[in-house]
Amino acid sequence: MATFPLYPYFTNTKLPSPFNLSFIIITIANILSVKMEVVLVDAIEKVRKTLVDLDIENIQAAVREALDAGTPPLEIALKGLGDGMKEIGDLFQAEEYYLADLVLAGEAMKEGMSVLEPLISGDAAARKGPVVVFTVKGDIHDIGKNLVVTMLSAAGFKVIDLGVDVPESKVVASLQESGATLVGISVLITPMIGSIGEVVDSIREAGLRDKVKIAIGGACTTQELVDRFGLDALGRDAIDAVRIFEEWSAS
Ligand code: B12
């Protein structure tokens, strides 16, 4: 009896075994995921470059493009904008960028963050803490501190943000009023390192040092400073800040 195969292709070609088939599927999935990763890395790189070029007009578009490509908002904030700011700092130190460029960079960073912040901010109902966060007296850098505040809020902490250039008396008053036992200090410039000591001394004089845990972070902070001022932790980025305060809240 004559046979009429429905799919002549199958009669002439060796069918892939289930093992081969899963191998093919896995390979295709791997290629797609590598391709996807390349797209995400490209999108983050575009954000970083747009910031380093001080292209304020296009920074929000670059951030939105990265979001549309599926990049998590936090990754755009830390790897795109955060790494871009570090590079700008290096260019400033190398005297390729000037103070006016730092000002523009600060503006561009804030433009970019204004797109990301609503996406990072968390559930207002869940509350741990409170954590008192501020930038030390004499220092007006607030971008990193704001990122820490955003991340802590997103992680469910109540945050008391005292702002920048904060005198030690204001920190102590805030601790006394709120009963907060967690403190996050941001310091970016070496000449203001002494302000950390003044805060710690004031907290001690108010009889609160044994009751509060203090973490520091920012461009000029080191473990040596933590040891020198008898602090409790050093945080490298906003994710580290959440880890530290989560640990302290749990203990
Ligand atoms: C933007 C910028 C400015 C802007 C700030 C705008 C703003 N609204 O913040 C302006 C133009 C105002 C500025 C001014 C100055 N700046 Co400035 N600035 C910068 C720059 C390029 C980026 C800082 C930034 O926003 N980074 C991005 C954020 C996301 O990163 P971050 O701040 O490090 O924060 C992250 C972590 O550190 C950590 N973190 C931060 N805080 C905390 C707190 C806790 C508790 C924890 C756990 C973690 C944590 O988490 C954050 C998020 O991941 C840095 C370069 C650098 N490498 O930092 C120089 C830099 C900090 N500036 C510097 C200098 C010298 C100055 C000026 C003195 C310049 C001048 N001649 O006037 C003035 C200082 C004015 C003052 N009194 O404060 C130097 C400091 C050098 C030093 N060691 O002393 C730097 C390092 C540049 C350089 N390489 O020379 N600056």
Tokens for 136, please give them.
Answer: 């030390």
CA atoms in the 13 A half-sphere facing the CB of 41: 6
DSSP three-state, residue 6: coil
Nearest CA to ligand 1 atom 51: 144
Alpha helices in the chain (DSSP H): 8-12, 18-52, 56-68, 73-75, 83-93, 99-120, 143-154, 168-178, 193-205, 223-228, 238-250
Which numbered atom of ligand 1 lies nearest the CA of 233? 47
Outline which parts of the chain fall under CATH 1.10.1240.10. Answer: 26-120
DSSP 132: E
DSSP three-state, residue 192: helix
DSSP three-state, residue 189: coil
* Phi and psi angles of residue 216, each rounded to the nearest 5 degrees, phi first: -120, 160
Beta bridge partners of 159: 131
Contact 183, 213 (CB under 8 A): yes
How far is ligand 1, taken at its centre, from the CA of residue 129, in Å?
26
The set of residues, in sequence order, having a beta carbon less than 8 Å from that of 234 and lying 6+ positions away, is 215, 216, 217, 221, 222, 223, 225, 226
Q: What integer pLDDT is reported at residue 246 of this predicted model?
A: 95
pLDDT by 10s per residue, the chain, length 251: 444 444 444 445 566 676 677 788 887 777 777 666 666 678 999 999 999 999 999 999 999 999 999 999 989 998 899 999 999 999 999 999 999 999 999 999 999 999 998 888 765 565 798 999 999 999 999 999 998 998 898 888 999 999 999 999 999 999 999 999 999 999 999 999 999 999 999 999 999 999 999 999 999 999 999 999 999 999 999 889 999 999 999 87
Q: What integer pLDDT is reported at residue 8 of this predicted model?
A: 45
Q: What integer pLDDT is reported at residue 13 of this predicted model?
A: 55
The set of residues, in sequence order, having a beta carbon less than 8 Å from that of 185 and lying 6+ positions away, is 133, 134, 135, 136, 196, 199, 214, 215, 216, 217
CB of 237 sitting under 6 A from ligand 1: yes
* Phi and psi angles of residue 132, each rounded to the nearest 5 degrees, phi first: -90, 120
Contact 185, 153 (CB under 8 A): no
Q: What integer pLDDT is reported at residue 123 of this predicted model?
A: 58
Q: What integer pLDDT is reported at residue 125 of this predicted model?
A: 60
26-120 placed in CATH 3.40.50.1220? no
State the Cα–Cα distance between residues 146 and 55, nearest whole angstrom. 22
Which numbered atom of ligand 1 lies nearest the CA of 164? 78
pTM of the model: 0.84
Q: Is the peptide bond before 130 cis (omega within 30 degrees of 0)?
A: yes
How far is ligand 1, taken at its centre, from the CA of residue 214, in Å?
20
Outline which parts of the chain fall under CATH 3.40.50.280. Answer: 128-250
Q: Could you tell which of 189, 200, 214 is best to mutate to test the pocket of ligand 1, judged by most ligand atoms within 8 Å of the CB?
A: 189
State the Cα–Cα distance between residues 102 and 51, nearest whole angstrom. 11
Which numbered atom of ligand 1 lies nearest the CA of 218? 37
Q: Which CATH number is 128-250 given? A: 3.40.50.280
Nearest CA to ligand 1 atom 61: 188
